Every structure is written in C-alpha cells, then in structure tokens.
Amino acid sequence: MTKPAKDKPWLFRTYAGHSTAEKSNALYRMNLSKGQTGLSVAFDLPTQTGYDSDHVLSRGEVGKVGVPVCHLGDMRALFDQIPLEQMNTSMTINATAPWLLSLYIAVAEEQGADVSKLQGTVQNDLVKEYLSRGTYICPPKPSLAMITDVAAYTAEHLPKWNPMNVCSYHLQEAGATPEQELAFALATGIAVLDDLKKKVPAEGFPAMVGRISFFVNAGIRFVTELCKMRAFTELWDEICLERYGIEEEKYRRFRYGVQVNSLGLTEQQPENNVYRILIEMLAVTLSKNARARAVQLPAWNEALGLPRPWDQQWSLRMQQIMAYETDLLEYGDLFDGNPAVTAKVEDLKAGARAELETLDSMGGAIAAIDYMKGRLVESNAERINRIEANETIVVGVNRWTEAEPSPLTAGDGGIMVVDPAVEADQVARLQQWRNGRDAEAVAKAIAQISADAKAGKNIMPASIAAAKAGVTTGEWAGVMRAVHGEYRGPTGVSRSPSNKTEGLDDIRDAVDAVSTQLGRRLKFLVGKPGLDGHSNGAEQIAFRARDCGMDITYEGIRMTPEQIVARAVEDDAHVVGLSILSGSHLPLIEELMERMRAAGLNHVPVVVGGIIPDEDALKLKSYGVARVYTPKDFELNRIMMDIVALATPASVAA
C-alpha cells in the first residue's frame, strides 16, 4: 500500500525587526539559516505612523518595536544579501503601506529582480487601525483609496503579491468575540473589494479577489478558534460567490496567515506561555480545510519585553516539530462530519451574519467605525470582568498563583533591551542621507506625489519615483497629511457609565467621599504619550474609572508629553495615568515628569502602566512616579482604589 502524499507545510515565519536595518538584516539571515521559510518584517512606530526618526513624536520610539526605515538606504540595508525575487516577505505596515512597498520595489529593482515575480504581503488594513492598533494617519475614506491603489497597482505589476491582509488579529487583542472578529474582518474585506472593483478591469477582478488575504488571531479556546477558522473559510466563500459572482473556486479560497494570541501571554509564570502558544497553534493547523498558509508564533517572554533571537528560535522549532515530526500533514481534514464542530461553526456563522447585517445597514465598515470601536471596548471590559470575577480561569494569574521562580528569567531578565544609542545613530544616518541626496529631484518627486494625491490618481507610481529620488518616510506621509488631513479615531469610551460592571459600590462610595473632600468630582486624566497605539489598557482604565464615578479625560493615542501636561493644567487634574506598551516609557516619562514640575504640578500624582521591567519601574519611581502597573496587575478595582487614595487631600498633602 502506497503512503499518501504529505501536504506541504505552511510558511514558517518569525515577526522580527529591531534597532537598525543592519541588525535586523543579520537577524533575518540567521533565522533563514535556521529553517525559517519566509520573512515577516516588524517596523518601528515612527515608520508605521509616518514620521522620520528625528521627529518630536519619535523620541524614545526608534527601533523599539521594529526596524526604522526612513528611506531607500535603510530598505537597502534591511534586505542586503537577501534575494527578494526568491523571498516571500510579509510587511506588517498599514498607513504607510504604499510607501514601504514602493521602497521594497525600488530595492528589488536595484537587485535586478523581475518585479512581476515578487511574492509577499503588505498588511495594508487601515480599518483595524482605527479600531485597535492605532497607526492610522489619514481619515477613513482617503485611507481606503490608498489601500485599493496598492491593490490596483499590484494587479498590473506584481501579480503574485498580496496587496492587502485583512487583519482581525488586533480585533481579538482588543476584546472581539469570535463573532465580532468574523464580522468586522469580513466587512473590511467587503469595503475594500467594493472600492477595488472600480479600479481594475472586470476581467481581472476575480484574480484580485483571490489575492486578498487575511491575518488572524488564534486564542486559547482552541476548539472555538478552530471552528472560527472553518467559519471564516465558509463565509468568505459565500461572500465571494454571492456578492461578487466569483465562479472560480481557487479565487474564493480563504487564504490566511496567523500569529497566535499575545493577549493571553502572562507576565506571571511566563514559562506557561510555551504551552499556550502550542495549543493556539493547533487551532490553525489541525483542520486541513482551514489550515493557515503562514504561521508566526510569539515568544514565551513577550509579556516581559522584547524577545531575544533564542526565544524566537524556540518558537520556530515548535512549528518545525509539528510539521516534520508529527504525522499531521499525512491526513485529510480530521473534523469533516464532526457534529460538535459542525454545530459550533454554524452557530458562529449565524452570529457573524447578524453582525454583518448591522454593519451593512450602517453603510458598511467605513461608516461603522465608531460603532465597532465601542463594541470592542465593551467586549474587552466584559472579558476583564470575567477574569476579575474568576469566571475565566487564567493559570498563574487568578488561580494557582504560588509558583517556583522561573529559571528562564534568571540572570539577564530573559528579554532583549534595545541600546538607547540606536536612536542617535539612526538620526545621524538620516541627516547624512538628507545631506547627500539631490534636493531638486526630491522636491520634484514630492510635488508629483502631492499633485497625484490631490487629483485622485493612483499614488503608487509617484511613490516609487519618490523612493528612488531619496524622499523620506516622514516627507511622504507629510504630503498625505497635507492633502487629506490628519485623523483622530474614536476612543470607544463614551461619557455614559456602563450598567454591566458589577461590584463597584464600595469604590463609588470612596470616589464620592474623596470628591466631597476635594470640593469637586475627582478628575482623572488618562494619557498615552508617544506613538504607541495599543490603547486597550488605557481604554479599560478610563472605562472602569468612569464607571466608578470619576470625571475622566481620555483623548486617545499619540499625545506628546507637552500636550498631556497642558491638558493636566487645563483640567486641574487630581491624578494623571499614563499607558505605554512600546518600551519607550523611560525617556517619555522622564520628559513628562520634568514638564509636570515646570508647570507647578509636583503635587499631582502620576501613575504609569505598561510592559515595564522591575529595574525600569525603580527608575520611574525615582523620576517621581507614584505607582507602576504591569500586566500582572489585572485587578482594575485595586488600581481604582489606589487612584482614590492618591487623590485624597491628606495623601496629596503628605
């Protein structure tokens, strides 16, 4: 009896990039030598939000959560000795996706590559940026136009490229239920295809539908997540056939990559995260009919800080053991005909269809951004409530919390720390680049981008020409801001208290009492300094503080320390709370505390939350910070009582 042919394994990727283009290039080549089969590029926050490394908002953010790419020279260094014609490259980039793809194309041409053979993906999903990740620049309508500009350009010039990766990953990180994740992601895909249909010839549209891919999240409830992936494949097939009339089955295929859930990784007992990552990977590999085409896994220590190369290697080995040591790829789908799976899939599809109908009645995803943001904040609040009430058990967090010290975190602390000197080096190289380019050619290229953007032309040709002329990321994005305007997305935190948060009576009484002592309602200012767009924590703090009866101010992401201090003066805030998850807490908080003192606000307590190592927490307290909270501080009610105590007049006077 002949053995059945094994399926090919999915692409093995590691989401990586840090410090500088040169250091990231060395990491990529090392990972490829270890058996990684595709690249997944993480860009730093200035690059993602369209700022050069020397912009005021870039301070403390350069090279922290990814690699800084300011111009063609950086992109050239990033892919040095990596033949792009042979590579499959995923670039997690959204607001500046047209620009980064332009730089990638320019480098590929320099290498002598046939551009039509380039394979990879730009995430290019701005809708989820408004809902969860926060790296948007322009308002929704021009952003949608840029998404489809990229898609239309690749249709003609890069036929193997995935021009858009509908990203539901961050929706789950922001608290989405499986039904919301399905519906909000599918609605985004629909919005893009509806717009794209106007930009490509009718005969070429089915192939473009086939190029739209998805990037999803797989959480710890892996049976539900497995069923969610089967529901995704069936619903997308249904939409492509019924809404767009796509006859060819291959163009209706739900093509997706995945990074499994980072939200559930714990700072407490971090070694347990290895099991979580493995279990979550099963959800997207076990079912052949809904198997991911590419998988990237977080590292066990991501709740502590930036993973080291060894940590990423460990996650890569997990994939390789699954693909090559087990017999998973030798069998057909293991779940076809399973009544429990079928019933769950149908249940998820029904919930997603109902949510899609609601979005459709509002005019689609672009028109419904405020609604979706509010729903996510509410869902996330309910998730946190269940953990606090012990309805949801998280091992090491709210059950079995006593543990032996982890040997994995002994010694160096178990994370990589980016050298602060990286930023100065990057800024110096950027200045050198500006000084060495043809200023006239740059000005001409920028003028052409502006003219094309104003005229509604496809932005890609002018962007590629600008990349070759030496234009920088900040200059390109500056044109987009000038033409289309900047945008501040909804926070999802309404002024009205929720009636779903229970067990707050004692805290409300305490807030009332301290407000009486203060002579007015306790004023709590929540701010997010820097470019970090991960706003889930700040939103939940503001949401809970509001429900406890505090008078809150939360204006959303991307505030400078100067703006936050000015608002504290204007509001006469009693307590200031700051959230930073990008690792830039030290320089940003140091500047903010200096500005607080200069503004005569020494008496106003400042509390800080984020992924903050113990030694950094001590530094923050030396700057004058009153409290530091990390992911292990999941009990929001305890934080609320801390804020009340800090605002109490006797406490302030002391």
Selecting among 532, 547, 551, 616, the annotated active-site residue is 532
The reply to whether 15 belongs to the active site is yes
* Mean pLDDT for the stretch of residues 367-379: 95
Q: How far apart are CA 333 and CA 439, in angstroms?
A: 59
For residue 502, is pLDDT > 80? no
Q: Specify whether 528 is catalytic.
A: yes
Q: What pTM value is reported for the model?
A: 0.89
What's the mean pLDDT in 446-469?
A: 98
User: Catalytic residue among 18, 534, 574, 585, which?
Assistant: 534
654: pLDDT strictly greater than 50: no
Q: For residue 276, what pLDDT is reported?
A: 97
Instruction: With CA atoms as reference, report the closest residue to 48 among 149, 112, 119, 137.
Output: 137
Q: In what order do the strands lie in the sheet with 119-122?
A: 15-16, 39-42, 88-92, 119-122, 161-162
Amino acid at residue number 236 = W
Beta strands in 208-348 (DSSP E): 213-218, 256-260, 294-296
Q: What is the pLDDT of residues 175-202, one digit of tens each?
A: 999 999 999 999 999 999 999 999 999 9
Contact of 190 with 237, CB cutoff 8 Å: no
pLDDT digits (tens, 9 = 90+) for 317-337: 999 999 999 999 999 999 999
Position 500 pLDDT exceeds 70? no
Alpha helices in 572-648 (DSSP H): 585-598, 614-622, 636-647
Question: Looking at residue 491, what is its pLDDT?
Answer: 86
Residue in 130, 136, 169, 629 annotated catalytic: 169
For residue 413, name the pLDDT band (cuts at 50, 70, 90). low
Using CA atoms, how far residue 29 sits from 49, 85, 302, 411, 626, in Å, is 27, 15, 22, 28, 44
State the Cα–Cα distance between residues 152 and 161, nearest whole angstrom: 11
pLDDT of residue 581: 87
Contacts of 428 (CB under 8 A, 6+ apart): none
CA separation for the pair 336, 149 (Å, rounded): 39
Q: How large is the average pLDDT for residues 517-546?
A: 95
Q: Which of the residues 23, 55, 170, 523 is marked catalytic? A: 170
Q: Which of 484, 528, 574, 585 is catalytic?
A: 528
**pLDDT above 90 (res 494):** no
Interatomic CA distance for residues 341 and 344, integer angstroms: 5
- What type of residue sits at position 275? Y
| pLDDT reading at 570 higher than 60 | yes
The string of DSSP letters for 43-99 reads BPHHHHHT--TTSGGGTTTTTTSSB---SHHHHHHHTTT--GGG-EEEEE-STTHHH
3-state secondary structure 404-456: CCCHHHCCCCCCECCCCHHHHHHHHHHHHHHHHCCHHHHHHHHHHHHHHHHHC
Indicate the SS3 state at residue 542: helix
Buried residues in 536-558 as b, exposed as e (16+ CB within 10 A): bbbbbbbbbbbbbbbbbbbbbbb
Beta bridge partners of 529: 559
pLDDT above 90: percentage of residues in the chain = 81
> Residue 651's pLDDT band (boundaries 50, 70, 90)?
low
pLDDT of residue 1 exceeding 70, the answer is no
3-39 pLDDT, tens digit per residue, is 667 899 988 877 777 778 998 898 888 888 888 778 8
Give dist(CA 156, CA 204) in Å, integer.
Answer: 9
Give the mean model confidence (pLDDT) for residues 485-492. Answer: 88
Rounded-to-integer distance, Cα 259 and Cα 169, Å = 7
Task: State how far the alpha carbon of 573 is from the alpha carbons of 21, 412, 521, 576, 654, in Å.
Answer: 42, 39, 10, 7, 18
Q: How far is CA 92 from the centre of its chain?
A: 9
Q: What value does the mean pLDDT of the chain take?
A: 93
Distance CA 322, CA 329 (A): 9
- Residue labelled with tokens 């980072």: 262
Selecting among 15, 28, 153, 629, the annotated active-site residue is 15
- Catalytic residue at 18? no
The tens digit of pLDDT for each residue in 128-141 reads 999 998 999 999 99
Is position 28 annotated as part of the catalytic site?
no
Task: Dump pLDDT digits (tens) for 597-617.
Answer: 999 999 999 999 998 988 999
408 pLDDT higher than 60? yes
Q: Catalytic residue at 169? A: yes
Indicate if 324 belongs to the active site: no
CA terminus-to-terminus distance, the chain: 83
> How far is 145 from 192, CA to CA, in rounded Å?
9
- Classify the phi-psi angles of 313: left when phi > 0, otherwise alpha if psi is within -120 to 50, otherwise beta: alpha
Q: What is the pLDDT of residue 420?
A: 80
Per-residue pLDDT, 410: 78
Which pLDDT value is given to residue 234?
Answer: 97
